Amino acid sequence: MTPRLRILVLAAGLLFFFTHLHNLPRTLEDLDSVNFALGVEHFDVGSHRPHPPGYPVYIALAKASTAVVHALTPSADRDRTAAAGLAALGLLAGTAAVWIFTEFWIAVGLPPVAAFFAAILAIVTPLFWFTAARPLSDSPSLVLAVAVQTLFLQGWRLKRAPAAPFPRRWIWAALASGFLIGMRSQTMWMTGPLLIWAAADLTMARRVRDALALVGAAAFGALLWAVPLVVLSGGLQRYLSLLSFQGAADFYGVEMLATRPSFRLLRTAMYRTFIWPWVWPPLGQIMILLALAGIVRLAGASRRALATILVSFSPYLVFHLLYQESVTLRYALPMVVPVAGLATAAISMARVRYAAVVAAVLAAASLWIVQPPLQSYAREGSGLFRAFQDMVRAVPASPEPPVLRMHHQVWWGVQRELDWYRPSWDMGPQPHPGEREWLSIVDLWRSGSTRPVWFLADVTRTDLAVFDPRSRTLRGRYGLPIEARPLMPTPRLEDVNWWEIDRPGWMLGNGWSITPELAGMTSVDRAGPAQRGADAYLLRSQAPQTIMIGGRYLSPPGNPAAVVSAELEGQVLSEWRVGADPGWFVQWIDLPQGISAGAGPYAHLVVRVRSDDQSRPSPLIGLEQFDAAPSSGTIAAFADGWQEPEGDPRTGRLWRWTSDRSVLSVRSGPGDLTLTLTGESPLKYFDHAPEVVVRAGDREIGRFSPSVDFSEHLLIPADALTSSGGRLVIATNLTFVPAERGTSPDRRRLGLKLYETRLSR
C-alpha cells in the first residue's frame, strides 16, 4: 500500500469504529447470542453454554471483551454488558476489515486502489455493516477467515518468486485455519480449500515434507482448542454425543436443499443469498450485475485471480445453499466479500476517477439504507428481551408473585431467555397443553390461586378473549424494530404482547367461538355445545349478576331449531329456542341473588344445545359472545344487523362488519357512557365517504363521515339509553355485497368494518 492509501484505510476504519461504537446493542437477541452470553458466564457445552460444537475460541475472546466492557461501564446492567461485550468483537473485526479486505484483494491481484474500493463496498454492504453490531460470531469469524486467506495468497506470491523457499506465512495460515474452527466451524469452508490447494501444490512439487508440515500445523491449531473442549465436556464420547444431538436438531424442521431439494428452494436461497444482503432489491441487482461483469472481465484478463476467488468462496457457497437455512440472512455474510470484489473488478475498467465516483455512489446508497436500521436496533434491541426486562423490573411492584405463562410458539423461542433471567426471577414450569394454553390458567384460578398471570402472547393468537376483558391489561407490545426486520429475517417468533390478567370475574373453557381461532379449535376438538357442552366459570359473589350469551345458528336452512340451555352447577337458569331465521340470538340472564358459595372460587356454567326435534341431530350453534358482570356494571351485545367475528391470522387483528343498520343491546347501571367505534377507512370499499349516524331510540347521539381509518368517541347520555330500552343503532348509508363485485360467494350486506366497538364509563 502507498502511504496515501494507508491513510484512507485508517480513516475508513476509524469511521466504522466510531459509528458502531455509538450503536452497540442494548440487549441480546438471537438464540445463539444468549447461548454465547451464558457461555461467557459459565462455559458448559452440555448445557448449551454455548451450543455444540462449543466455539471455545470465540468464548475466550468474548470473556476478555466482556470484562473490558464491564470495566469501562461498571454501571451497565447485566443485559447491556453481555450484549456489548459480544458485539465489541464485531466492532473490532469490522474496524480491521478495511485493512484486511484491502490486503486480500491486493493478494488476489487487483490494483491497490481497486482493492480498497472492494473492501469499502463489502464493509458498507447493509448486511455486513449491520451484522457487525450484533452480539454474534459471524462478523469476527468472517474477518479472521479472510485474514487467513490473505496469508495463503501472499504466500503464493512469495512462492512464485525465483528460487523462493517454503513460504513461512503458509505455516501461520495453516495454524490459524485450524485454530479458527474453534471460533466458528463454518470458517473451514473458507480456509480449508486454500489449505488443501497449498498442500497439493507442495506435493506436486515433490515437497511432501513441507506439505505434511502444513497439514500438521493446521491439526495442531485445531488441537489447541479441541483438547481442552473435549476435556471440559466430559470426554470424547460425551462430546461426540452432544455434537450428534445438535447436528440432528439443526436438521429438524429446517428448510434446506440437502433435505428438501427443489428448484424453487434453490432459486429462493440464491435470491436470499445474493439480493437480500443489500435490503433494497435494485441495489442488490446492480451489485450482482456488476459482479457478473467482473467475472467476465477476469475470465479474459486474469483467470488465476478468478480461480483464486472461486476456491476461496465457492465451497462455502455450496455448503451454505445445501446445509444452512437461507432465511437466516447472516449465514450469507461471507458472500458479500466476493460480490463486492467482483463488482469492483467491473467498475475498475473505467478510469480511476470514474470508478471512484461509482464506488462512492454505491457505498453511499448502502449506508443510506443501513444506518437507520442500525440506529433503531441499537436503541430498541430485541423485543423479547425488552419484554423480559420490563417484566423483571415490574416483579417487585406486584402485590403477589405473578405466574408467567405464554403461547407455545413463544415458549419454544424464549427458553434460553428464561434461563438467562432465572437468576433474577425463577418463572417456574411452563405447562402447555398443545394450542389450548389458556386451560392451564383456568385450572390455576379454579384451584384457588389469586396470583396474577403475566402472559406472553403471540400477537397472532386471540384465545385470551376467554378471560373477562375487565381483568386484562396490555402492559406492552414488543417486536423487532420495523427498520431492522429486513436485516434480521428469522423463522423465530419475535412479536409478542405482554398481558397482565388478574383473577377474572369469568373465564371460558372449551366449546366457544368467541374468535375465529377459538371457533376453529372448537370444531377440531368436536367440543361444541351440541357435543360436550360449552364451559364457563363465574367468580362467586353475592352481588346481583347479569350474564349475556350470544351466538349464531350455523346449520343450513331446513334443519330443526335448536334448544339452548344454560345450567349453573347443574341447575337450569334459562332455556331458549334458536332457528335459522333470524339466525342469531342474544340471551340475557339475571341472577338477583348473585352466585352462591360452593366448592371452589368459581361456579361452573355449562351451555348445551339439543334439537327441538328429538328424531334429528342437534343443529350447529356457534357461541360467539359471552359476558358477565355485576348488575351495576356495563355489558354490550351485538344484536341484529351484525356479522360474525372475523380476523387476520397473520396479525391477530379482529373485526366485525355492520350492515346498513346494526344494533347494540346494552345493560348498564346508572351514569353516562362513552361509545368508541374504531374502524377501517370506508374508501377502501366505496368511492366516497358514508354518512354514519348513531341513535338511541329517536335521539341522535352522533353523526360522522369517515374517509380514513377512524376512531370516534360518542357520549351516550344515561336517559337516552334508558328511553331506548338499551338499544343503540349504528346506521350507514353505504353498503355492498361482495358477491356482486366479483367472484366471491359472500352474499352478506356489509357496511362498516369495525375493529373496536366498546362502551365504557
pLDDT tens track for 367-388: 999 999 999 999 998 988 999 9
In the block, cell 341472577 appears at: 591
Q: What is the pLDDT of residue 423?
A: 84
CATH 3.40.50.720 fits 524-629, yes or no: no
CATH topology for the 633-761 domain: Jelly Rolls (2.60.120)
User: What type of residue is 462?
Assistant: T
738 touches 643 (CB < 8 A): no
Angle formed at CA 8 by CA 3 and CA 11, multiple of 5 degrees: 125
Nearest Cα neighbor of 278 from 268, 288, 293 is: 288
pLDDT of the residue at 122: 97
Q: Rounded CA gap, 56 and 40, in Å?
A: 10
What distance lies between CA 722 and its chain's CA centroid?
48
| pLDDT score recorded for residue 557 | 84
CA torsion through residues 157, 158, 161, 162, sign = negative
Distance in angstroms (rounded) separating the CA atoms of residues 261 and 387: 38
The runs of H, that is alpha helices, within 673-750 are 718-723
116, three cell numbers: 480498497
Taking all residues of the chain, what is their mean pLDDT, rounded to a whole number?
92
Q: What is the DSSP letter of 422?
A: T
What is the per-residue pLDDT for 251?
A: 65
Across the 761 residues of the chain, what is the mean pLDDT of every consecutive 10-residue run? 87 95 91 93 90 92 96 93 96 97 95 94 97 96 97 79 69 95 95 93 86 93 93 86 72 78 93 96 96 93 90 96 91 97 91 88 96 94 91 91 89 83 78 78 94 93 96 94 88 84 96 95 92 95 95 91 94 94 94 91 96 89 96 95 93 95 95 96 96 96 96 96 95 95 89 96 87
Q: Which long-range contacts (CB under 8 A, 24 or more apart) does 252-258 make?
A: 254/325, 255/325, 255/326, 255/327, 256/322, 256/323, 256/324, 256/325, 256/326, 257/321, 257/322, 257/323, 258/322, 258/323
At 248 the pLDDT is: 64
Q: Which residues, 6 or more positions from 331, have their beta carbon under 8 angstroms from its beta carbon?
A: 138, 320, 324, 325
C-alpha cell belonging to residue 320: 451454505
Task: Cis check for the bond before 50: say yes or no (omega within 30 of 0).
Answer: yes
Look at residue 2 in the predicted model and tell me its pLDDT: 79
Alpha helices in 22-167 (DSSP H): 31-41, 56-72, 78-108, 112-123, 126-131, 138-159
Cβ–Cβ under 8 Å, residues 95 and 336 = no
User: What is the C-alpha to C-alpha distance for residues 320 and 325, in angstroms, rounded to an integer?
Assistant: 8
- For 581-607, write each residue's pLDDT tens digit: 898 999 999 999 999 888 899 999 999
Distances (CA, A) of 654 to 153, 516, 637, 678: 60, 9, 16, 11
